[in-house]
Structure 1
Amino acid sequence: MAVLHVSPLSSKITPKLSPCLRPHRSNSKPILCLCSSDYRAHQQHLPRLEKIVAPVHHFSSLGESIARASLLAVLSASLFLADPALAFKGGGPYGAEVTRGQDLTGKDFSGKTLIKQDFKTSILRQANFKGANLLGASFFDADLTGADLSDADLRGADFSLANVTKANLSNANMEGALATGNTSFRGSIITGADFTDVPLRDDQREYLCKVADGVNPTTGNATKDTLLCR
């Protein structure tokens, strides 16, 4: 059974084997050991971990600060490494709700700040992202059929393997977005969209050039120019 042993006079944490979940003394120095099998009993938030550490009164004032800080940091990290689901608490730093791998058909995200939001593999049919800040968001392998992405900030967003057919991308700023794999924009409205530095497949670029028109109101770039249409 793997255990973390923390010395009160050092910030070093070393793995040892021991079946204990209590403070004890070794070589006259107080040690706190916690069994890895008990991690899950204290997962999801640190207050419970504090309850484990707080009762240990053998620490010196300086040693206690170092030991407790080290122990809590390592235990918290260990929980996330042991169970990936625990590490995923939301869809992104600006959107606390879980948006990855979800059915979000028709959901309204209009005008929201969703920087680096994770929408990987989600179903986003007819979802409303009008005017949303989606800088660096991930739509990897997501279904955006019929979604409204008009006026959205999609710079650096990841549309790899995504289905963006029949979507509204009018006036969207997609500078530097990714569109690798079989990403499809078939049937989408792209009037005024900015595709600067978007790595499109030749067949997608050819198709989009046939329907491209307008100028992006934010960047001032003509859609045809950003698609490098001939």
Structure 2
Amino acid sequence: MALLNVFMCSKFSAKPRFSYPRPAVSAHPSPLALPLKQRPEASRKLTLPLTASVSAASLAALLSVSLFVVDPALAFKGGGPYGQEVTRGQDLTGKDFSGKTLIKQDFKTSILRQANFKGAKLLGASFFDADLTGADLSDADLRGADFSLANVTKANLSNANLEGALATGNTSFKGANITGADFTDVPLRDDQREYLCKVADGMNPTTGNATRETLLCN
């Protein structure tokens, strides 16, 4: 009887044991976990196209941006045959423009000291805030030109035609030679008109108008 009890206890009280299969641990890590130089050839082929595509995308982005980044100076080109060169905001000291056709040319804010415009056609040209100190504008066609805020001191305007030109603001003609110049319909400050009337003389050879009359001198 005792043996039977021992047998029954050993048969039903022992808990069954289950063994689950454990994942095999490989001695070789995944190819993608290795550095690029140590990866198999197949893994390299998967990685390199991705890197190349990213580099190509970055290059394309840089090129697209560069198309919009233009030298600011290239955006300012005037009219006339000289328009291929930039004349706005430039240092053109002593430059020779004599006899040239420079209709509506843009010389805004440029330094034009001692520049030569003798006999040039400058209809509608802009000299806004430009420095024309000592420039030669004799015999030039300056009809409708803009001299607003320009420094025209000691410039040679003899026999120049300035009909309808603008000279508003602090435009200065101090020391300028205006013999034979035509100032018809040029808006001048009272102090500038008074100064020019003191030195005005001659008659414009193109229009036949006396300089003093065009300045409305008393």
**TM-score range for the pair, normalised by the shorter chain length:** 0.5 to 0.7
- Cross-structure match for 1:145: 133
- With structure 1 as the length reference, what TM-score do the two structures score? 0.64
**Mapping 1:1-230, distance limit 5 Å:** 39-41=64-66, 43=67, 85=72, 88=75, 90-95=77-82, 96-230=84-218
User: For residues 86 and 97 of structure 1, do their structure 2 counterparts lie closer, same or farther at Cα, with a shift above 3 Å needed?
Assistant: closer
- Which structure has the larger Rg over C-alpha atoms? 2
Which of the two has greater helix per residue? 2
Separation (CA, whole Å) in 2 of partners of 1:86 and 1:148: 26
Residue 36 of structure 1: CA displacement? 9.4
Separation (CA, whole Å) in 2 of partners of 1:215 and 1:36: 64
Residues 215, 222 of structure 1: 8 Å contact kept: yes
Residue 181 of structure 1: CA displacement? 0.5
User: For residues 89 and 36 of structure 1, do their structure 2 counterparts lie closer, same or farther at Cα, with a shift above 3 Å needed?
Assistant: farther
Residue 88 of structure 1: CA displacement? 1.6
- With structure 2 as the length reference, what TM-score do the two structures score? 0.68
Residues 94, 117 of structure 1: 8 Å contact kept: no
User: For residues 38 and 186 of structure 1, do their structure 2 counterparts lie closer, same or farther at Cα, with a shift above 3 Å needed?
Assistant: same
Residues 151, 173 of structure 1: 8 Å contact kept: yes
Secondary structure at the counterpart of residue 146 of structure 2: coil
Residues 203, 209 of structure 2: 8 Å contact kept: yes
Q: Cα RMSD over matched residues?
A: 2.2
Which of the two has greater strand per residue? 1
Residue 84 of structure 1: CA displacement? 8.6
Q: Deviations over 1:153-183 (max 9, x none)?
A: 0000000000000000000000000000000
User: For residues 229 and 139 of structure 1, do their structure 2 counterparts lie closer, same or farther at Cα, with a shift above 3 Å needed?
Assistant: same
Q: Which runs of 5+ in 2 are unaligned?
A: 1-59
Separation (CA, whole Å) in 2 of partners of 1:164 and 1:136: 17
- Cross-structure match for 1:56: none
Residues 107, 127 of structure 1: 8 Å contact kept: yes
Q: Deviations over 1:118-157 (max 9, x none)?
A: 1111111100000000100010000000000000000000
- Percent of pairs with identical residues: 80
Separation (CA, whole Å) in 2 of partners of 1:222 and 1:36: 64
* Equivalent pairs, count: 160
Separation (CA, whole Å) in 2 of partners of 1:152 and 1:38: 46
